[in-house]
Structure 1
Amino acid sequence: MTIPRLSVLAFIISAHFGGAALAADSVATKHAITHEDVWLMKRVGAPLASPDGRWAVFPVTDPAYDSKEQWSDLWIKSLSDDSPARRLTFSKGGEGALNWSPDSKQLIFIAKRDGDDAGQIYRIDIAGGGEAQRLTTLTLGARTPKFSPDGKQILFVSDIFPGNASEDDIKKTAKERKDRKYSARAYESFPPRYFDKWLDDKQVRLFVMDASVGAKPRDLLSGSKLAALPGFGGGQGDEGQSLDAIWAPDGKAIVFAAATNRDQLARASAYTQIYSVPVGGGEATQLSADKHSYGSLKFSADGKTLFTLTEAEEEGKVYDVSRLASFAWPMTSSTPHVLTAALDRSISRYVLPAGSNRVVFSFEHAGLEQLHSVSYNGGDVRDEPSLPSGSINALSAGGKALVGVWESAINPPEVYAFGNGAPKRLTAFNTERAASIDWQAPEHFWFKASDGRMIHNMIVKPANFDPSKKYPLFAVIHGGAANMWRDQFVLRWNYHLLAQPGYVVLLTDYKGSTGYGEEFARAIQGDPLKGPADEINEAVDEAVKKYSYVDGSKLAAGGASYGGHLTNWLQATTTRYKAIISHAGEMDLIMQWGSSDSIYGREVNSGGPVWGEQAVWRTQSPVLQGGNHAKGTGFTTPILISVGELDYRVPANNALMNFATQQRLNVPSKLLVFPDENHWILKGENSRYFYSEVQHWLAKYLN
C-alpha cells in the first residue's frame, strides 16, 4: 500500500509525538525507590553449571519482612535454549553448597528441613525427578559436599568434639553438654567469639561416605598427627570452620588447604598450606612448603594441573594481593607457578571452562568487577566480554558453558551467560520491578589527592533529579578498609535509598581500599584514620567544585564498620558536616583491639602492640580528640549512633563510649541499639526502622 506524502508526514508526526507521550507516561509512572523496593527484590544466588554444560541451578530467595514468611528455593535454567527458569525445590528453609554429580544427573546440597537440628546432605534426581533424599543424619551436621570423580562417593566437612572417634561418641557428648547444669564457657585460645557467635571447642574434620541413603561417613583425619596439632583448622564462618577440600583426579585422595597455627591468632596471622590425605584415611602429606596461604583449589579437566589462589602473607603488612597460581599434578615441586604475578589486583574468583587452556577470572577495579582471562602458562592477562558497568559477583563453568550473576546499582542481580560473545541475561526475577524505579546509574569521577594518589569516586543522584537545583551532599564511607565501593545493588546502605529524600550521595574509595593495587590498600598502615579521612574531605571538596548542583553548605557523612571508624574521626576533627551517621564504629583504637574478635592485624596496622611506643594508638583514637570540642574544631556535629548488641567485630562498648562522649560534651546525639542484630542490620523491620531514623536525622539537620 502506498501512503500519500501528507499522510506519511502526519503518520511520522503522530508516531513521534505518540512515542514521546508514551515515554513521558513511562517516566511519570516511575517512582522514587522505597524500602519495600530494596528489601523485597528477589535475591538471586550463585548459579552452578552442570558438568555437561546443559543446566544451571541457583538459589532464589523470596524475601519478606517477617522471616517466618521468607522462602528460598533452587531454580534450574536450561543453557541450551531460551526456556524460562523453573523452580526445582519447594521448601521454606533453603538450600546451599550445591554440587553436581559427574554425569549431570544428580545434585547434592545442604539443607535444614523438618526434623533436622543441623544442616544435612540431600540429593535430588535432576534426570528422573522426585523429592530430595536426605543422605546424612549427623548430630553436628554437614557442610560443602562434593561428588567423587566417579560419582560413587561424597566428600564433606563436619565437626567432632574433642576425644570423639565416632558418631555415637558425638551424639553422647552432645547430650551430655545439653544436660549439664552450668552455662559457663571456657577458653584457652583466641578468639573466643566471631561476629555474633561465641565459639566452642568443636574440631573441623573431613569425611567421605558412599553416595547412598544410610551410608556411614568415615573421618579421614581421625587419629592423625596433623589434626592433633593445637593450631589445626580452617577459616571461620557462620557455620563453623571450613576446610577447602577437593577430590584428587583419580579419586584416591583428598587435596585440601588447612592452617596449623590457628592457636597463634592473638600474635600472628594464620596461613593455610596444601595437604593430601588418602580416601582410606591415615596421615596427611604436606604438599606446599612456605608460609603463604592457599585456597579455592581446582583441578584442570585433564587432571594434570592444580590451580589455586594464593596470598603471600607478607610479615608486617596489612594486605596481600590474591594471585592465581598452579602446580603440576602430581606435585613434583612445592613452589607455585604464579600466573598473574604482574597483575596488581586481587583475583575474586576463577573458573576453568572445558576445551580451553585459559583460566577465566574477575577482579575489582574502580567500582566495577569484570571478566578477564590468562593462559595456563600465565602472564598474558586479557579482557573478556563483560558488561560496561556493574559487577560480576558469582561465576561457574560447566563443560563450555560459563554462567554467573551480574548486577549494578540500578539492576538487581540476575543470572547471565558469559564467554560466548556479549553477556546474555538468562533470568528476569527483578527486571520489572527495577524498571518501575526512577533511578540513574552512578557517575564516576577521579581526582588527585594532596598525597598524590588518584582517588576514584561515584556520585549517586536522587529521583526526579534536576541539575539546575541545589542538593545536600551525603558522603557515605565504605567499611573494610580492604573493600571498595562497587556499582551494585545492595541491601545495607543502599545508595539510591539514601539519596531518595533529595540528597546527592558521594562514594569515595579512600586509600586502604581494594581495587587499586597492593600499595594503595597498604597505604593506611600506620595511618588508619587520619589519612583516609583527609581524602574523604578532599573528595567532598572536589564534588562541590565539580558539580554545580551540590550545595556545599549542607554536608553530611556516615558509614559502618571501618566506615563508622572514619565517620567518628570526622566528627571528632572537623565541623564542616551538619550531620553524622555512625554504625558499628570504633571510638578507641585500644578498646577495639582488646574487645573485638580480631587483634593481631590491628597491631600490624598500628606498628606494634598497644603497650608499645607507637603514638597512633592515642593520636588516632576518636575519643581522645575530645579536647577539640573546647577549641571548636570537633565533637559538635549532631550524631546518630547505631549498633547491634550481638556485634563482636566492633563490640557495642564502642557505641556506648561514643554516646557517652557526645552526651558529656552536650552534642546533639541519639543512640540506636538493636538487641537481635550483629555487625549488620539484617532483619527486615529493623532495616526499615534504621533507614527511617537515618532519613529523619539528615532531614532534621540538613533541610
Structure 2
Amino acid sequence: MLGALLVMSITVGHAQNLKDGPLKIERTKDNEVMNISTERQPLTAEKLWKLARVSGERVTPDGKELIYGVAHYNFETNSAERNLFSIPVKGGSPKQLTTEQGSESILDITAQGEIIYLYKGDIWKMQSDGSQKAKLTETEGKLADVKLSPDKKHILYSKSVLVNPFHSPDKYKDLPKSDVYVYDDLDYRHWDSFNDGRYTHPFVASYADGKLGEPVDLLEGKPYYSPQAPFGGAEDFAWSPDSKAVLYVAKKKAGKEYALSTNTDIYRYDLASGQVSNLTEGMNGYDTHPDFSPVGNRLAWLSMKKDGFEADKNDIILQDQNGKVRLNLTAHWDETVNAFTWSKDGKKIYFTAPVKGTIQLFEVLVPANLANKSLPRINQLTEGEFDVTGIVGEYDGGLVVTSTRLTRAAEIYRYDFKTRYLLPITTENEEAYAHIAETKVKGRFTKATDGQDLFSWVVYPPNFDPSKKYPTLLYCQGGPQSAVSQFYSLRWNLQLIASQGYIVIAPNRRGMPGWGVQWNEDISGDWGGQPIRDYLSAIDDLCTESYIDTARLGAIGASYGGYSVFMLAGVHEGRFKTFISHCGLFDMTSWYGTTEELFFANQDLGGPYWDAANEKTYTDFNPITYVEKWNAPIMVIQGGKDFRVPIGQGLEAFQAAQLRGIKSRLVYLPEENHWVLSGHNAQVWQREFFRWLDETL
C-alpha cells in the first residue's frame, strides 16, 4: 500500500454521548476547571510537534490501572523521548513510572503487580509505582519483539541473521571497506533499505533467573522474514496457552516469489519435538495477528483471501484447539477489520473497523460450537465523529481505547458498556488545546458522476465567517485503499492546514474502506478513472457555496494522493490554481520497473506494461500522458530513500514542469523514505508547504 475530537464545554464529571464524540474537558494539570481563553491562536507546525504523543500499553490484570506511554519531541535533539505512566482507569492523577532516556515497552504485569518490561534490548522489572527497577537479562545481541511464555520459562524473540552475502564485505572478507551489492533475483530492496542478506528470524530459548538458554532459530537460517518486513512486530508471535508451542507469521518465499505474493502463513513450532506445522495451509492471502483466547480453547487471526491483494477484506478467523474446525466470523459482514482483541472471558471478540469516514468499535459473540456455521450478529458499539484507533484492554464494565479526531491528537478513553459513553482517562494535551483556535469539521455528501453518494470531511478555518471567501484545498488521500477518517497526523494534519486560513475538503473517494467491500475494491485497475472523477465532483460541489473562492483552489496529496495531484494537473480544466504532490507516481511505466512490492502493482495496475491487456493503465491513467496540459504551478516533494515510489518519479515530474516553463519547485529529502520521520525535516516540509501556498494561492 502506498504507505492512520469535536470540542464542547462541559462540567467536569459529566459524560458525553458517543454521537457527540469523545469528551473534552478544560482543566489544569492539577485537575481544576479553567476558563477557555478567548484569545486562542491558530495551530502551527511548531505547536503540533510539541503536542504529547499518547499510546496505550496495558491494563493491569485487576482492570484498575492503565499503563500508558507519553512521548515528547525535543527540537534541540531532533528526537522524541517516551516514558511510561500509570493512572486509575476510573479516574485519578497520573504517576510517572520511568524517567530514563530511551523507550520502554510492557511485556507482562504479574498478579502481584510487578511490571516486566523491555528497555534497551533487555528485560527489566519494577514495582507498580515505578520503584525497585532491576535488570533481569544481560544479552550480547539486544532482544526485540519479545513474548514471554505463559509459564515464564521460555522466551520468544527476534534477531537478524545473515543468510545470503549480498553485500561485498560479507561476500569478500578481504575487502571490508568495499560497498557493493550483488543480486541474482528480486527482493533486492524494500521500503527504504537494500537487502544486505540479513533476515529477521524468530528465536525461542529457555529463560530462568534472567539467563537465556541456547536459542533455536525457528526459520533454520532460511531467507525468510518473521516478523514481516518492514513493519511487523511482536504481534506476529504468540504462545500456546500451555507454553508448549509458539506461533509465528512468515511468508516463506524468496526472490521474485516474495515480491509478487502476500501469502503469509501462521506456523506452529512444538518445543518438545521441534516439529513445524502450517496452520493456514491453503489460505492464500495475508494471515496475521494470531491470538489465543484467554481460556485457551480458540485461536483467532486476521485473514485476507486473495494472494497479491494487500487491501483485500480482512476477516477474523476462528479455529478450535484441535485445529479441526474453522469459522470465518465476519464472512457475512460487508466491511474490513483493522484489529481485534478477546474479551476476558473468551466469549466475545472486540474489534475496530472503518465505517462511513470514521473508525469505530465493534463486538461479535464467539459461537460455542464452531461447526454450527451459524454466524453471529456484529454489533457496532460506538458512533460519532471520531476514530477509535486502538483497543488497550478490558476493565470491569468496559474497554480502554485510544481515540483521535481531525482536531485532536490521540488520548486514552474508557468505553462504558452500560452507558455507551467514552470518558477520558488521559488528558495530556488539554492545556495545549485550550490555547489553540478551534477548526470546525463538517461531513458533506455529494452525488458522484455515477449517481453514488460521495462523502467528504470539510475542515473550516478558525473563526469561519460564511460571508467571506476562502481559498480551498482538495486533499487527496494515499493508499490508495486507506481510509479518510477522523485521523490526526503530524504531517498531513488537516487542522493545521485549515488553521492557516484554508478550507480543506477530504473526500472518501472510490477505493476507501468503510463504505462496503465493493467500494473499497473499485479503485483497482481504475486509478485514473472514477476516483479522479470523485475528486472533481467533491470540489465542484463545494464550490457551489458562496464562501469558496473558486479562483483560489489547490490540490494536495501524497503517494496515490500525489499521483492524483499529477493526474488532476492534466485534466482539471482550469479548476485549480496550484498543486502539491509528495512521493506521487508520475510515470506508471518507469514506476512498475523500479518499485519493490510488485504484488501491489500487479493488483492495482493490472500487471506489467508489456502486457497489452493493461494498456489503459499506462496511457489513459498515466499522469505523464497529460503533461502537455499542465498549466498551473506545482511543487514536487520527494524522499531519497523512498523505494515504494522511487526518486525518479519526483525528479521526472519536476523536470517536466521546468522544461515546460511552469512555475515549479522540488523539495528533496535525501534521508527520508515514503514518509517524513525527522522532526527538523518535518518543520522544513511544513514551512515549504505553506510558503508555496502563500506564493501561488
Instruction: Please classify the TM superposition score into its range, dividing by the shorter chain length.
Output: 0.7 to 0.9
Where do residues 546-585 of structure 1 align in structure 2 (5 Å cutoff)?
547-574=545-572, 575-585=574-584
Matches within 5 A, 1:339-350: 339-350=329-340
TM-aligned CA distance change 1:157 to 1:398, over 3 Å: farther
Per the alignment, residue 311 of structure 1 pairs with 304
C-alpha distance in 2 between matches for 1:305 and 1:610: 46
Name the structure, 1 or 2, with higher relative contact order (CA <8 Å, separation 6+).
Answer: 2
Going from structure 1 to structure 2, the CA distance change for 1:180 and 1:120 (only over 3 Å counts) comes to farther
Pair 105,396 (structure 1): closer, same or farther in 2 beyond 3 Å: same
TM-score (norm 1): 0.86
User: How far apart in 2 are the matches of 1:393 and 1:232?
Assistant: 27
In structure 2, relative to structure 1, the CA distance for the partners of 1:299 and 1:419 (3 Å cut) is farther
Q: Cα distance, 1:163 vs. partner?
A: 8.9
Pair 1:50 & 2:50 matched:
no
Deviation readout 1:289-329 (Å, 9 max, x if unpaired): 212432111111211111111111256x5631101120001
Whole-Å separation in 1 of the counterparts to 2:112 and 2:662: 63
For residues 207 and 399 of structure 1, the distance between their equivalents in structure 2, rounded to whole angstroms, comes to 33
Task: Give the secondary-structure state (helix, strand or coil) at the position aligned to 1:534.
Answer: helix
- For the residue of structure 1 that corresponds to 2:350, the secondary structure is strand
In the alignment, is the contact (CA less than 8 A) between 1:47 and 1:403 conserved in 2? no
Give 3-state SS (helix, strand or coil) of 2:593's partner.
Answer: helix
- Per-residue deviation at 1:432? 1.5
Counterpart of 1:340 in structure 2: which amino acid? T
| Residue 510 of structure 1, CA deviation | 1.2
**SS at 1:571's partner residue?**
helix
Aligned to 1:129: 131
Q: Which runs of 5+ in 1 are unaligned?
A: 1-22, 113-118, 165-172
- Structure 1 contact 196–647 (Cα < 8 Å) conserved: yes
CA shift, 1:246, in A, is 0.9
1:479–1:134 Cα change, 3 Å: farther
Q: Match for residue 194 of structure 2? A: 198
Q: Which stretch shows the higher mean deviation, 664-673 or 606-615?
A: 606-615
Matches of 1:552 and 1:391, distance apart in 2: 31
Q: Which amino acid counterpart does residue 302 of structure 1 have in structure 2? A: V
1:480: how far off?
A: 0.4
Compared CA separation, residues 178 and 650, structure 1 to 2 (3 A): farther
Letter in 2 for 1:507: A
Q: Between Structure 1 and Structure 2, how many residues are aligned?
A: 648
> Could you tell me which amino acid in structure 2 is paired with residue 550 of structure 1?
I
Alignment partners' CA distance in 1, 2:274 and 2:150 = 21
Pair 1:373–1:676, CA change in 2 (3 A): same
Residue correspondence of structure 1 range 185-334 to structure 2 within 5 A: 185-212=181-208, 214-221=210-217, 227=220, 230=223, 233-237=226-230, 244-265=236-257, 268-280=260-272, 282-290=274-282, 291-313=284-306, 319-333=311-325
1:303/1:178 Cα in 2 relative to 1: closer, same or farther (>3 Å)?
A: farther
For each residue in 1:226-275, what CA deviation from the matched residue of structure 2 results, as whole angstroms up to 9, or x when unmatched? 6466556542125x887712111111111223222244446632312222
- Give the match for residue 353 of structure 2: 363
8 A Cα contact 1:72 1:91, kept in partner = no
1:691 aligns with 2:678: no
Instruction: Give 1:104 shift.
Output: 5.8
Deviates most, 276-285 or 494-503? 276-285
Q: CA deviation at 1:597?
A: 2.2
Q: In structure 2, how many angstroms separate the alpha carbons of the residues matched to 1:396 and 1:520?
A: 30
Cα distance between partner residues in 2 of 1:593 and 1:652:
13
- Give CA deviations for 1:172-202 in whole Å, capped at 9, x if unaligned: x999979823111233443222222223222
Distance 2:123 2:196 in 1: 23
> Is 2:499 aligned against 1:500?
yes
Once residues 412 and 618 of structure 1 are traced to their aligned partners in structure 2, the CA distance between those partners, rounded to angstroms, is: 41
- The letter for the 2-side match of 1:517 is G
1:88-487 correspondence runs (5 A):
88-96=97-105, 98-103=106-111, 105-112=113-120, 119-126=121-128, 129-133=131-135, 135-139=137-141, 141-162=142-163, 180-212=176-208, 214-221=210-217, 227=220, 230=223, 233-237=226-230, 244-265=236-257, 268-280=260-272, 282-290=274-282, 291-313=284-306, 319-333=311-325, 336-355=326-345, 357-377=347-367, 378-384=375-381, 386=382, 388-398=384-394, 400=396, 402-420=399-417, 421=419, 422-487=421-486
- Name the residue aligned to 2:25: none
**Offset at 1:419?**
4.0
The reply on whether 1:637 has 2:632 as its aligned counterpart is: yes
Could you tell me the percent identity over the aligned residues? 25
CA distance in 1, matches of 2:391, 2:662: 48
What is the match of residue 658 of structure 1? 653
Q: Which residue of 1 aligns with 2:643?
A: 648
CA shift for structure 1 position 526:
1.9
CA distance in 2, matches of 1:155, 1:185: 32
Q: Distance in 2 between matches of 1:243 and 1:318?
A: 18
Partner of 2:508: 509
Please list the CA deviations of residues 95-147 of structure 1 after superposition, one character each: whole Å capped at 9, or x if unmatched.
24x321453633344433xxxxxx444443437832241524243x3222122
Q: Which runs of 5+ in 2 are unaligned?
A: 1-32, 368-374
Residue 624 of structure 1 aligns to a residue in which SS? helix
Distance 1:424 1:513, change over 3 A: same
- Residue 622 (structure 1) aligned with residue 632 (structure 2): no
TM-score by length of 2: 0.87
Query: 1:28 Cα deviation (Å)?
Result: 2.7
Cα distance in 2, alignment partners of residues 668 and 105 from structure 1: 62
8 A Cα contact 2:163 2:221, kept in partner: no
Q: Secondary structure, in 3 states, of the residue corresponding to 1:285?
A: strand
Q: Deviations over 1:484-521 (max 9, x none)?
A: 11213221111121122321101011111122222112
Larger Rg: 1
| 1:320–1:577 Cα change, 3 Å | same
SS in 2 for 1:72: strand
Give distance in 1, aligned partners of 2:78 and 2:59: 30
In 1, Cα distance between the equivalents of 2:343 and 2:173? Answer: 48
- Does 128-137 or 533-542 show the bigger shift? 128-137
Distance of 2:67 and 2:570 partners within structure 1: 50
User: Match of 1:47, SS?
Assistant: strand
- Checking the alignment, whether the CA contact within 8 Å between 1:221 and 1:282 is kept in structure 2 is no
